[in-house]
Each structure stands twice: as C-alpha cells, then as structure tokens.
Structure 1
C-alpha cells in the first residue's frame, strides 16, 4: 500500500487484507468520512488497536477497519475530540489531507523497513511544493506536519491531526504521594479505562493506590473506588487529590459485597491483586468468585486484569476480547473485556 502526495490516494495490492470488523456501529457506506491512520505503540499493538476501536464504540462513532498490521491501523471514521483519551497511540494522521498556504514539515518514521529517511522526506516535500506552489518550510515549529510511516516497505503519508506527547512518566507510581510497587503503569491503566467503554464514570473495587482511578479522573470521569485496606483507601485519596481529582467516592469495604456501596455503575475497571497483595475480601472464601458475582450485579461492562486465566462465562459474562500482558519473564497478566 502506498499513499501518494497530499491526497493520500490508496493503492491496495494483493498483499493487503481488507478487514471489516463486525461491530454494531458500522454503516454500509461511509463516503463522507475520512480515512484516519493510527500509529500504534509497538509494545502492545493488539491492545493499542483494541483501545482505538473501544473509543469508537464508547462514543458511538460509525467506523470501518480498512487495514491493520503491526503499528499501523487505518479506519474510515469521522474525527472526534475524545480520541485524545488514547494512551497507546503515538499519532493520528488524516490520509485524505490537503495543505494550506502555511508553513509545513515532513518527517519519516521507519518500522521494520530499510529506507533512506532524509531522501524520502525531501522527495515528499518536493512533491508537495510542486502541488501547492512553494509552501514555506519550518523544521522547528511548523503549522502543518506531514508524516510518512514506512512499515515493512509500505509507505503511508498523512497530515498529523493529533499528537500524543508522552507524559506518563511523571505519573508513575514512585512519583505519587502514596506508593505501592504493584500499581500498573499509567499508560496501561488509561488503556484499561478505554477498553472498559467508560463514558461518564468508572468503579475500581480493588483500587489499591488509585492508579486506574487517576487516569480515569484525568479524563474527566467520575471515579469510584473500594478497597479492603484502610491504608490503601487513604493512599488512593491522597493520590487523587495530588493530581487535582476531587470528584470521587472511595470507601473501605469488601469486594465481595460491592452493591452495598454502589448500586449501579457505568463500568468496572480493575487490576486484581496477586501474591502478597491478594487479600481483597474479608471471608477468605473464593474471593474472585464472590467479587465477580458482585460486579455482575452492578454493571454490564467491565475490563478486568487477572493474574491467571479465568472462566468468566461461569459468572454469566460474555468475553468480548482477551489479551495477555507480559509483565516480566515469569509473570503474565490476563486482560478480559467483558459484557
């Protein structure tokens, strides 16, 4: 597949599979929609692509998947501002772009490709100059950014419509007022909230130090939490307030009896404790069974991270998607998107 010039004309070869995902928001013809390319994280591309689709569904955007391979996913969809919630996407490019009489810059990103970036940047810039009649170039602070991704020898050229500065390091667990080493990386925590299709609020019944709730709160969602440890509850409140999040309800309580604290929620997103941190209900019985039953009572949507595989169908859940997140050599976490 090669995108030529500023119009992003697509040439689809036999090497490319045109994938149309089965989803409730597809419409037969999307002729008025643009083709957006999402340059995905290379660390977990399947999870990153699922996060994009989850936001389409959350905000009821009709969409069609045109192409997905490794770090490049292309959809026929309208642009909407809530895409700013994405945590596992580097850039969003409009393949059907045009340029204005303003400054511009061309950059090339190589992914599993051997290409001379400088030569390709010059060629694309020259082509655009010919088409638009001498646009001014600004390599430092351009008003328009043209980006070319070369992945496995295929070129994708588009105009950047959304960029995602990497700001997660400052929110890592060790930089919060209350620290516990078991907390998820904030980028993964945010992706889980998006996978949970959370639009207004989110509940974490094993909130720990509040890592998931911090990311949800920073996205403007109402956050609710529960933890059996009084120390964790206090620490979660400290961490939320540290990041300016005040719209929260956090209680000390039993995850096997969530409905006593929250009768109904938009969605549940949680990372189950494991090892020494796994005391999460007071009874000592099958703590996961009790907690999952309670979650089923209060919501129809959930994204749950487990320390080992779990049969959620036995709890009357439907497993929409499942991912394996490798933590280190001897530890995996299993992400379930449930309805």
Structure 2
C-alpha cells in the first residue's frame, strides 16, 4: 500500500523515524518542509492510525499524467472499497499552485467521473466514503482519505484549549528531541500540551508544568485528569522558579510566548534571559533544553549552552525553529 502522510512542514523526518520504530524498515520519500511523507507499507492500517507525528492519512490507489486515466485505472480498487456503500464525497488538493485549475475543479471532475462509474450519490455532509485527488508537478493521484472527519493531531486530553495552544504534533517532536530522561520541566506550560505528550510517551518519569497564569494551570489540570496523568503544577514566573536546588532536571521542553497573541510579562527579552538562566541553574549534566521560537535573535543573544540542533518548521504560514541545547 502506498500512503500519503501529512504532518507539520519541517517534521517529515520525525514521521520517518516513528514509522521505522512502528513497522521496521519502511520505504519513505519526502521533500523537506513539504509536510508530506509517502510511505510504502504492508502492515495493517490500524497501526498507522496510532501514530502521533501525523495529521492525516490518504491511501493512494493510482498515479498518472491525467486525472481521468488515473481514476479509471483505479476503479477496481475504488469499487472494492466502496462495496455496499451509498454516498461519497471528494477531497482534493492542488499541491502545485501554478496549475491552471483549482482544488474545487479537481474535486468536481473526479466526483463526476466516480458518480458515473460507481453509482454512488454525492453527499458532502456525512458521506460513507471520502475519495481523494491531488495534482503535484504534472502528476495526478487518486485514492481514499482515511482520516476525513478529524485530524490525528486531536488528542483525547485536549478538554481545555489555550488560545495560543501548541500543535500536539510539534510537542510530540520536541519530546522526542529531548530524549528519554527522568524529570521534565515546562516553565510556560499553558494547557499542558508538551508535558502531557511527554508523559503519554513515557519519555519522562516525572514532569513539572509551570505557568504564570493560574487559569492556564487549571486548564492543564483538567486536561491531565482527563487521561489519568499527574504532572506537578506550579503557578510561577519563569524568573522566580519554585524549584528546589536539589531537584535534578533532565530536560526543559518549552514553547515561550511568541509575543503575537499574548504579550509576556516584562517583555520577550526578560522571558528569554530568564529561561536560559533557569536552564543553566537547574539542568543536570547532559540535560537538554528544547525550545520552540520564531525569535532566533533572542536565542543567539541569551544562549550559553551547547547548540545541538536547529530545525525549521512552518505552521499556518509562520516560520519558527526548534532548538535543542545540552548542558555539558
């Protein structure tokens, strides 16, 4: 089976790593910062749908130079998958934006063809099956959308959502980059996404979820209780952490305020200076600091730790970077 797995642009390598851990050797192909990973698998799809690094899954049934020829070559598979069903819809994407047609044109053309060939009725609200079509640099692909009604990034713990909530897929990637250690701290935890991702993965035995906002901490507590997790919750300013000096912190994984939707108390410079000061004081030897930020200049100004990685990502048109630092 050929699958198209979508993710946050820049995290394609995380998808490849998770696939390898889940299924062993898997043939994959992707373009960096595309948010798209193609994978050839033989395993049951249920295992793919348990992945934490992907948003959507499309089963690719055919590829070709024209939409009609590609769809007709895939009709037998489409008939088998839609056997006993009555309604369908088409989801389409024009990946190459310079094409002289729209995504709606693609969806309409495939929908017309399938209505004739399969005898199904179009139903846009709650179809029995959702077919998929796309165009990318001269290639048409058709298949079935296996996650048509919700994204795999929707986590069961997200009962309370912060207005600047972090995408759980990014949080998952940051947890992986932090490594498997003991105590984890997020000093800007918001609704607890990073801490809950790390605890859910069992990458850390214990976690401290801290934030200056009591309302956010109450939301984080609600989210944690929803899935039976118990991080330590602290209302505190990053410049005055409520950490005992003998607490061995193995990782700080955090998403400081971007300064877009919310203005941090004291300004961004104060926040970043305090974050790196905290890391230098409390990280154990070999511990890691993983930071998501759009402010590279602040990172360069205040960091005195060893820089291991810098990963560019793009979500919603906003470019940011995941930095991984270690304490020698």
TM-score by length of 1: 0.58
| 1:110 lines up with 2:93 in the alignment | yes
Q: Distance in 2 between matches of 1:186 and 1:270?
A: 10
Q: Could you tell me which residue of structure 2 aligns to residue 194 of structure 1?
A: 173
Instruction: Please tell me whether the aligned partners of residues 305 and 325 of structure 2 are also in contact (alpha carbons under 8 angstroms).
Output: no
Shift, 1:200, TM fit: 8.6
Give the superposed CA RMSD.
4.7
Q: Could you tell me which residue of structure 2 aligns to residue 92 of structure 1?
A: 57
User: Which of 317, 321, 327 does residue 334 from structure 1 map onto?
Assistant: 321
After superposition, the C-alpha distances for 1:116-143 in whole angstroms (9 at most, x for unaligned) are 33223223555xx4xxxx5655635444
* Unaligned 5+ runs, structure 1: 1-33, 175-183
Which structure 2 residues correspond to residues 89-238 of structure 1 after superposition, within 5 A?
A: 89=55, 91-96=56-61, 98=77, 99-100=80-81, 101-103=83-85, 105-111=88-94, 112=97, 113=99, 114=101, 116-117=105-106, 118-124=108-114, 126=116, 129=117, 136-137=120-121, 139=123, 141-163=126-148, 165=150, 171-174=160-163, 184-187=164-167, 189-197=168-176, 203-213=184-194, 216=197, 224-227=207-210, 232=213, 234-238=214-218
CA gap 1:236/1:216 in 2 versus in 1, 3 angstroms: farther
Shift, 1:289, TM fit: 4.8
* Unaligned 5+ runs, structure 2: 63-76
Q: Could you tell me which residue of structure 2 aligns to residue 27 of structure 1?
A: none
Q: Could you tell me which residue of structure 1 aligns to residue 220 of structure 2?
A: 240
Shift, 1:288, TM fit: 0.6
User: Aligned pairs, how many?
Assistant: 273
After superposition, the C-alpha distances for 1:3-26 in whole angstroms (9 at most, x for unaligned) are xxxxxxxxxxxxxxxxxxxxxxxx
User: Which of 225, 230, 254 does residue 270 from structure 1 map onto?
Assistant: 254
User: Which of 303, 308, 312 does residue 295 from structure 2 map onto?
Assistant: 308
Q: What SS is found at the alignment partner of 1:272?
A: coil
TM-score by length of 2: 0.60
Q: Could you tell me which residue of structure 1 aligns to residue 66 of structure 2?
A: none
Q: Distance in 2 between matches of 1:142 and 1:81?
A: 23
Q: Distance in 1 between matches of 2:120 and 2:294?
A: 54
Shift, 1:51, TM fit: 5.1
After superposition, the C-alpha distances for 1:156-192 in whole angstroms (9 at most, x for unaligned) are 2122233462669985425xxxxxxxxx3342x5422
Q: Could you tell me which residue of structure 2 aligns to residue 52 of structure 1?
A: 15
